[in-house]
Chain A
Amino acid sequence: MTDPLTSILSGGVELAVPILFSALGEIYDQRAGVINLGLEGIMSLAAFVALLVGFSTGSYLMGTLAAISVGGLMALIHSFACVKIGINQIISGLLLVTLADGIANFSYVTIIRLSGVPRASVLKPINIPGLSQIPVLGPVLFQQNIFVYLAFLFAIVFGFVLYKTTWGLKIRGVGENPEACDAAGINVNRIRYLCVILSGVMAGFGGAFLSLGYLGLYGSGMAEGRGWIAIIVVILSGWSPYRAILGSLIFGLGYSTAANLIGIGIGVSSYVLQMVPYTMALIVIVFMFKRTKGPSALTVPYRRK
Chain B
Amino acid sequence: MEARFEKYISYPIGLIIALSIFSAILLAMGFNPILSLEALIKGSFGTVFRASETFVRVTPLLLCALAFLIAFKARFLNFGAEGQLYIGALCAYLAASQMGGLPSILSVPLVVLVSFVSGVAWLAIPLVLKVKLEINEVFPTIVLNFIAILVINGLVTGPIKDPMAQNPQTRTIPPATWLPIMIPGTRLHVGLIFAFFLAFLIYLILQKTVLGYDIRAVGLGPRAAKHGGIDFSRNIIIVGILSGGLAGLAGMVEVLGANHLLISGFSPGFGYQGIAIAALGRFDPIGVLLASIFFSILLIGGESMQRATPPVPIQLIYILQAVLVLSVLIVQEFLTVRRQK
A→B interface (CB under 8 Å): 37, 77, 80-81, 85-88, 90-92, 94-99, 101-103, 105-106, 109-110, 224-225, 228, 231-232, 235, 269, 271-272, 274-275, 278-279, 281-282, 285-286, 289-290, 303
Contacts and interface: CB of A to CB of B under 8 A. Distances in A.
B337 A91 contact: no
B139 A231 contact: yes
Contacts of B25: 106
Ranked nearest first, the 10 interchain pairs of A and B with the lowest CB-CB distance are A271-B154, A102-B318, A106-B315, A99-B322, A102-B319, A109-B313, A105-B315, A98-B322, A87-B329, A278-B146
Contacts of B323: 99
A275 B319 contact: no
Interface string B128-170: 0100011110111011101100110110011000000000000
Q: How large is the interface on B (under 10, 10 to 19, 20 to 34, 35 or more residues)?
A: 35 or more
A119 to B, nearest CB: 20
Contacts of B154: 269, 271-272
B330 A106 contact: no
Contact of B319 (A77, A99, A279, A303): A99
A81 B334 contact: no
B13 interface: no
Contact of B139 (A86, A99, A285, A290): A285
Nearest to A294: B136
Nearest to A40: B142
Contact of B337 (A37, A86, A90): A86
B140 A91 contact: no
Contacts of A271: 150-151, 153-154, 157
Contact of B333 (A37, A87, A102): A87
B230 interface: no
Interface in B252-300: 269, 272, 275-276, 279
10 contacts: A37-B138, A80-B330, A85-B330, A98-B318, A225-B146, A271-B154, A278-B150, A282-B140, A282-B143, A285-B139
Given A102-B315, A282-B140, 8 more contacts: A37-B138, A85-B337, A94-B276, A97-B272, A275-B150, A278-B144, A282-B147, A290-B134
Contacts of A102: 315-316, 318-319, 321-322
A285 B315 CA distance: 33
A95 B322 contact: yes
Contacts, number: 123
Q: Is the interface of A mostly helix, strand, loop or mixed?
A: helix
B303 to A, nearest CB: 14
B77 interface: yes
Contact of A91 (B142, B158, B275): B275
Contacts of B133: 289-290
Given A105-B313, A271-B154, A285 B135 contact: yes
Contact of A290 (B135, B321, B334): B135
A289 B132 CA distance: 12
B158 A269 contact: yes
A36 B140 CA distance: 17
A81 B146 CA distance: 28
Given A271-B154, A274-B150, A282 B135 contact: no
Nearest to B126: A285
Contact of A303 (B138, B153, B315, B337): B337
A88 B329 contact: yes
